[in-house]
Structure 1
Amino acid sequence: MNLPEREAAVRRMLERTPPQVPPDLYAEVVRRGGRMLRRRTVARRLMWLALLAATLAFVIWAWTAQPWVEPPSTTTPPISNW
């Protein structure tokens, strides 16, 4: 299909009358949209809650384990000046 044929096909499609929309479609779309928004809100809140829990767990671990402190030596230091 070359360019003039495509343009003619598009013009024919645009000149047709649009299909009839079912009357109850609006209510169904609003219901589904509301449900989608509620699901997104719940998912977003759960993700924030998970992030907060992970942060809190990390802070508690870091506070108790203190990974920045050098661990105590397991061997005795060399004795000098005997």
Structure 2
Amino acid sequence: MKREEREAAVRDAMRRAVAPVPPELHADAVRRGDRLLRRRRLVRRVLLLPACAAAVAFAVWAAGAHPWVEPSTRTTPPVTGW
């Protein structure tokens, strides 16, 4: 089969293979897309809530514990009576 014959066969197959799109397909796609967007938005909000709670808990802990301050160097009692 020559190149021209193959191209003609492909064009003919493509012309015959065109099927009409069902009219309800667009509405179904829009409905499914809206549902996916709502679900993603809900998941994002649900995951954001624990992240914010963890940030607040860390800030409260850091404010009370002062982890950036070096601990005292006096770890033993002073030696007296030499």
Q: TM-score range by the shorter chain?
A: 0.5 to 0.7
User: Cα 1:78–1:47, aligned 2, differ >3 Å: closer, same or farther?
Assistant: same
State the TM-score, normalized to the length of structure 2: 0.64
Partner residue in 2 for 1:21:
21
Q: CA deviation at 1:28?
A: 1.3
Unaligned runs of 5+ in 2: none
Could you say what the CA RMSD is over the residues aligned between the two structures, in angstroms? 2.8
Cα distance in 1 for partners of 2:65, 2:12 equals: 73
TM-score (norm 1): 0.64
Q: Whole-Å Cα distance in 2 between the matches of residues 10 and 78 of structure 1?
A: 98
Point out where structure 1 has 5 or more consecutive residues left out of the alignment. none
Could you tell me how far apart the structure 2 residues matched to 1:17 and 1:25 are? 18
Identity of aligned residues (%): 50
Number of equivalences: 76
Provide the C-alpha distance between the structure 1 equivalents of 2:11 and 2:50, rounded to a whole number of angstroms. Answer: 53
Deviations, residues 21-66 of structure 1 (Å, cap 9, x unaligned): 2222122111111101101111222233232112111111111222
